[in-house]
Structure 1
Amino acid sequence: MHIVKWTVVLSIFWLLLSGYIEPLLLSFGAISVVVVLLVLKRMDKVENEPGHIGTSLRLIRYAPWLIGQIFSSGLHVTKLIWGSPDKVSPALAKISAKDIPPSSRVLYANSITLTPGTLSVDLEEGEVTVHALQESSIAELEEGQMEKKITAIWGENK
């Protein structure tokens, strides 16, 4: 069943990105979707665990929040860059991700990277090494708002 979901998602994604509905281009799209599905099927056999598409309700809850974080952080970084160089205080720290389910830790690290002014450098054994333009960004991550949001939406019990 998950192959059918992936087929639909990949086909719609390809159509949205291409924007063309011509026989030659549609055949290229179909071929690319089939190749990706073959790779997915092979990966499922190697992992012994099929890759599932998360429920859309989770994505609907998470995407607007993350987009808001990206927008507000972008404004903050713009002010920081255009303002006084004294306000820039680069920092490197390890942020605990032990409370986040292992299956969601990569999402957490990528969410940190998507937020302007912060970059996930490493993810190892329940810790994310983060570089930030300001120490206050590290403090915000240590407060755990993003961690709580990811755990609430993408936790294993969902």
Structure 2
Amino acid sequence: MSQKTNPIVHYVIVWPLVLFAFWLLLSGFFKPLLLGLGVVSVVTVVSLLYKMDKHDEQTQPLPLSPRFFAYVGWLLVQVFKSGIQVTKLVWTQGKTVEPTLATLSIRDKSVNTRVLYANSITLTPGTLCIDIDEENVTVHALQHKSVEQLDKGEMARRVANVNKEGESS
């Protein structure tokens, strides 16, 4: 189900729409000046992206698939739940921070899958990916419970599912 699209379409339509929607989501401002600054920001980023892709000749199409959007929705829920957990940890007396360092296996995963997994770990409050290689990802967590969650493999399974249809690396 590999579809070839003109890369110009990505730079003129897809990237600007995705980036501007993301900018609106994060800013929440609809005043003309701020919308104009958002447009300038998007045009700048897209032009830099175009120049970088022409230089290294390795364009990365957006994984705009139902699997990707399902994963983003699931990840947002995890980020929210982890944020509440970290807030409770910080505000509640009696609970202690248990800094933990763990190495999780990511063997037999493509480069895109490893990178998405490491970034997803870092986006989740209370966890941070501090090293990644072909076989392992090293994670720092505020609580051992967070590492146990990751060790169960739910996030790794979902990340692998996102990249199933487009495994190229």
TM-score band, normalised by shorter chain: 0.7 to 0.9
Q: Secondary structure at the match of 1:120?
A: strand
Q: Report the counterpart of residue 123 of structure 1 in structure 2.
A: 132
TM-fit CA distance, 1:156: 4.8
Residue 71 (1) aligns with residue 71 (2): no
TM-fit CA distance, 1:83: 4.2
Q: Report the counterpart of residue 121 of structure 2 in structure 1.
A: 112
TM-fit CA distance, 1:34: 2.9
Q: Report the counterpart of residue 21 of structure 1 in structure 2.
A: 32
Equivalent residue letter for 1:155: K
Residue 141 (1) aligns with residue 146 (2): no
Give percent identity, aligned residues only.
43
Q: 1:2 to 1:102 in 2, by over 3 A?
A: same
Equivalent residue letter for 1:143: K
Structure 1: gaps of 5 or more residues: none
Equivalent residue letter for 1:19: F
Q: 1:65 to 1:77 in 2, by over 3 A?
A: same
Q: 1:118 to 1:12 in 2, by over 3 A?
A: closer
Equivalent residue letter for 1:21: P
Residues 67 and 161 in structure 2, CA contact (< 8 A), matched pair in contact too: no
Length, aligned pairs only: 155
| CA displacement 1:9-44 (0-9 Å, x = unmatched) | 23444455342235x963x44443332222111111
TM-fit CA distance, 1:92: 0.6
Q: Secondary structure at the match of 1:38?
A: helix
Structure 2: gaps of 5 or more residues: 1-8
CA distance in 2: counterparts of 1:79 and 1:12, whole angstroms: 32
Find 2:59's aligned residue among 37, 44, 50. 50
- Over the aligned positions, Cα root-mean-square deviation in angstroms equals 2.6
Q: TM-score by structure 2 length?
A: 0.75
